[in-house]
Chain A
Amino acid sequence: MQYHRPTTLAEALRLVAEPGARVLAGGTDLVLRMRDGRERPDALVSLGRVAELAGVTLGAGSVRLGARTTLAELVEHEELGRLFPALLEAARVFGSMLVRNLATVGGNLCNASPCSDLAPPLIALGARVELASREARRELPLGDFFVGPRETRLAPGELLTAVVLDRPGPRDRSAFLKHTRVTVDLALVNVAVALELDRGKVARVRAVAGAVGPTPLRLLGIEALVAGQALGPELLAEVGRRAGDEVKPISDVRASAEYRRMLTGVLCKRALATAAAAEVS
């Protein structure tokens, strides 16, 4: 097995295009998969030194998260959490401190684990992913990026270089909630919501649930249900009852499908309430 450590994006893209090459970012998933033989790449392309992929950039209208930004960097960023409370909360409860210091935004998204804590809030916040290959660059809504467990729309030789978010408007709020067995755990269910409140009513909303389907799922029925409405107790109770109908969870050692459905409702209801109640900063 070869190990490459390019220093420029161009070099990285050239190496990634080689057959059998596998991108190594934080390694928190890939190293495990290599060790137990689930993956045997011919070459590893480490992104650790590619400067173009690092860090958070705040632009006038958008915010760019370089693919190799770690989860810890998201948590520590001074502005980010204020702009995107759902993203901050998801990053804060992502794995443990030790994992957050290694795991990267790009790595987590490209793993396409159904229980990713990062994907639901980013989808809810309307994130786009920048994909690059030697030949071309393109942008894709993150919501369209996932195909199934460990499957994305990344083409061979393509690299996720960044996640781009629009700066929120003054009436935008968001929230993220996660259910676990003990505090540090994979999500049994997670839910992220992002919404715009206009005079007490939901002007625009995205609600996304994770770990309840092969990919993060938009809760379109819930979005339709609350659109144009004030988030009162009755409506929220209805959300709680109905959100579970929109998801396709499985039963495993962590939880049953029925429990996951039920949790989806509770978390969705609470996330909406949290977001609606949040102070506009």
Chain B
Amino acid sequence: MTSRPIGKDVPRVDGWAKATGAALYTDDLSLPGMLHGALLRSPVPHARIAHLDTRRAAALPGVKAVVVGSDLPAVKYGNWRLVPTTQDELALARGRVRFVGDEVAAVAAVDRDTAEEALALIRVEYEPLPAVFDLDAAMAAGAPVLHEATPDNVSVTRKIAFGDLEAGFGASDYVREDTFTVQAVSHAYLEPCATLAQADDLGRITLWTSTQTPYIVQCLLASTLGLRENEVRVVKPAVGGGFGGKMELRPWDVCAAFIARRTGKPVKFALSREEELATGRRRHPMRLRSRVGFKRDGTLMAKDLQVLLEGGAYNSMGPTATFLVGNFGAMLYRYPAYRYAGAHVYTNHAPAGAMRGFGAPQALFATETQMNMAAEALGIDPIELRLKNAMRPGDEIPDVATVGTCGFAECLERVAEMSGWREKRRRGPGTGGGKGLGIGCYSFITGGVFNWFNTPYPFSAAEVRAYADGTVHLLTMASDIGQGSDTVLQQILAEELGIRMQDVQMTAGDTAMTPKGDLGTWGSRVTLMAGNAVLEAARQVKEELARMVSLRFDLNVVQEVELKDGMVRSKFRPDRGIPFAEAVAMAQKANRGKPVVGRGTYTPRDMGLVTPTFSFGAQVAEVDVDRETGVTRVTKVYTAHDCGTVLNPMAVDGQVHGCIQMGMGYALSEELVMRDGKTVNASFLDYKMPGALDMPECEAVCVETHDPRGPFGAKETGEGPISATAPAIADAVWHASGYRATGLPITAEKLLAALDGDDSIAGERRAEASCAIPDPRPRG
């Protein structure tokens, strides 16, 4: 293994464990005497709990605990700790349920069958309340209220505005206004959520849980149970995917910990796939009304974007989504004037939360589709129109964000070349015998800088312990949930210290063992934020060793010392130096045995409201549309993307491919279908994701930039590309068939109905729907 791992196809450090089945996920863990938990969920969308009788369940032999809402402290939780009024969830309902699946009671028993049996013995009388299932019903005057503190059901509003909007539209030659609708989809991570809690003699908790944010779970679980933060230890085992769906404290975490404290026995909860799909977090359905103005030559003049987010019964990560969709609406292009207003609306559906791309898949489906529509109307090639308006390095969204490095224009050029765009796109829509190609683009954040969790700790931290045997131990709370961050962080460390990957060991995602803090895996933040923390820690070690070696060999410590190939030595006279291990021993000896340790942190400062830096990319999809059945087959997807410097090409490819799979499902086949508040397709039999036989060939190239804010110049790659795929496919469908979709998913049935002239099925009727944002009221 090379000692310069950066930029190489380094295989995953957890590859062996995962390939052999040795990797332990939460549901693989068990402890002696462990109880099995199960949750009773509301079968109705909105009701008062008139009566709750658990006596028969509690009396069932083998049942060790039955817990209802009134047993738990009445402490509401939610990720937006900065604004406590947004924290609106209880682990178990107290007197009221707000969606089908709302947790009502928890049971723990000696085995799972007994726990399930006990659930059936709990008697609940629900007094139905009127429920609201869509934006219009929820926002209508006199609509049923979900939370008394929010009488209009609008829990969050956000605005962004810059430039002179009226002047912009006034100077426009061409103005269009469109409404877009996007559906709820599931993360559908393969590992259902699971949690295992153990209490000690003082009631302190260790919680192994399938999470992407151990620190957030630690803090919120502690405050929910009335414990001090560090009386809860959260350990992240191997996690089978999260995609944003595992970044909150969840009821089963609270129930497991509470019952473990009460019974003194370890307690495990493991969700079923049906629970995941029927009641789990999902991507926000949205209605987006966008008005955009251009000069005749294609120059963008103004954009006015109004968005309603359907949040479901609780806020979850809705406040962030409500801001981010407005931020992403302003990305990619230079808007001289821009106005955004967004509102997060409660309904009696399972709550929406964060999901890969967070706000961008919705915002950019609208932006990119509208760009394609405008290009058509203006008679300008869609890529030319984009090039004319593309963001460039140094551009800014006033008061919100600054664009640092930006390879967007080059991505557009590259993707045009790769795909043969200019040749293939020359023909008109619907003239290619069912074949077509289309474009969509993206920009995404590399970590968020806004401190919604109100953490008093660094956003990321790392400790590096160097040992005299030549090994190095990296400790960080950063959480690999499958994206490969453990590997990349070890690459960064090995590169900086000039050692091999196998010299590095790692402890991660354990709140008791790793330095505080880390906000977890979301917003594509880990490589940049944890990476910078690792880099800082590594540099401290490096400096100490360099000082030792320069003293011994009389080297110029500023210019001459390098750590490379396992040596600490002179750059110019490689014979002057010693192995890394010896240098560590020497440093220790010189400091009376004090270990050689580096501690790094990263907290963004003065980087606007959004992110340290943005990724960019452009994608072209090729499709085949069957005019008789409406089936769209995606045959090829080309991606050109700017993720800064590529730290691990194989891992970057994997992220791009994964985004395409999810983006394609979003475009064509995935939707959580709701009827009377129930998710009617809560199984993989009817929640249809693209599989091995559906995936197109994927070709991707990196347009490398070097971002000064990223470790070794890196930016994000794990989320951005997902937002380009749906608009690219939708545009390709238009090119292939002549039908322009403004709603997702473009199922075969919808497409065929639209091509046959039946617009009511295709979702066009929503074009008249209102996106008016109510005036913000003062809150909390």
Question: Which residues in A have some Cβ–Cβ distance to B below 8 Å?
Answer: 179, 181-186, 240, 253-256, 259, 262-263, 266
Contacts and interface: CB of A to CB of B under 8 A. Distances in A.
Given A259-B749, A262-B752, A185 B688 contact: yes
A182 B685 contact: no
Interface stretch (B548-556, B640-648, B689-697, B721-729): B689-697
A37 B233 CA distance: 39
A182 B748 contact: no
B455 interface: no
Nearest to A256: B749
A172 B503 CA distance: 69
A182 B669 contact: yes
B140 interface: no
Contacts of B688: 181-182, 185
**Nearest 4 pairs between A and B by C-beta?**
A183-B693, A259-B749, A181-B688, A182-B688
A181 B747 contact: yes
Nearest to B681: A253
Contacts of A255: 749
B297 interface: no
A46 B436 CA distance: 52
B768 interface: no
A30 to B, nearest CB: 16
A259 B694 contact: no
19 contacts: A179-B631, A179-B748, A181-B747, A182-B689, A182-B690, A182-B691, A182-B693, A183-B691, A184-B691, A186-B685, A240-B628, A253-B680, A253-B681, A253-B686, A254-B686, A255-B749, A262-B752, A263-B629, A266-B629
B673 interface: yes
B689 A266 contact: no
B487 to A, nearest CB: 30
B749 to A, nearest CB: 4
A184 B686 CA distance: 11
Given A186-B685, A253-B673, A181 B748 contact: yes
Contacts of B680: 253
A147 to B, nearest CB: 24
A182 B686 contact: no
B474 to A, nearest CB: 39
B266 to A, nearest CB: 26
Contacts of A181: 669, 688, 747-748
Interface string B596-629: 0000000000000000000000000000000011
A166 B538 CA distance: 76
Residue with the highest number of chain A CB atoms closer than 10 Å, among B669, B688, B694, B749: B749
Contacts, number: 36
A194 B631 CA distance: 25
Contacts of A240: 628
Contacts of B681: 253
A254 B693 CA distance: 19
Contact of A266 (B628, B686, B690): B628
Nearest to B274: A36
A183 B690 CA distance: 8
Given A253-B681, A266-B629, A184 B673 contact: no
Contacts of A254: 686
Nearest to B690: A182
Given A256-B749, A259-B749, A182 B629 contact: no
A201 B574 CA distance: 87
Contacts of A262: 752
A138 B688 CA distance: 41
Residue with the highest number of chain B CB atoms closer than 10 Å, among A179, A183, A240: A183
Given A253-B686, A256-B749, A183 B694 contact: yes
Given A182-B691, A253-B673, A255-B749, 9 more contacts: A179-B631, A181-B669, A181-B747, A182-B694, A184-B691, A184-B693, A254-B686, A259-B749, A266-B628
Contacts of B752: 259, 262
A240 B748 CA distance: 18
Contacts of B749: 255-256, 259
Contacts of A259: 749, 752-753
Nearest to A181: B688
B268 to A, nearest CB: 20
A188 B673 CA distance: 17
A270 to B, nearest CB: 8
Contacts of B747: 181
Interface in B660-690: 669, 673, 680-681, 685-686, 688-690
Nearest to A179: B629
B91 to A, nearest CB: 26
Contacts of A185: 688
B394 to A, nearest CB: 43
Contacts of B631: 179
B638 to A, nearest CB: 22
B675 to A, nearest CB: 8
Contacts of A182: 669, 688-691, 693-694
A42 to B, nearest CB: 19
A262 B694 CA distance: 23
A179 B686 CA distance: 14
A235 to B, nearest CB: 16
B756 to A, nearest CB: 9
A241 to B, nearest CB: 12
Contacts of B691: 182-184
A266 B749 CA distance: 13
Residue with the highest number of chain B CB atoms closer than 10 Å, among A179, A182, A184, A240: A182
A184 B628 CA distance: 20
Nearest to A254: B686
Interface string B416-455: 0000000000000000000000000000000000000000
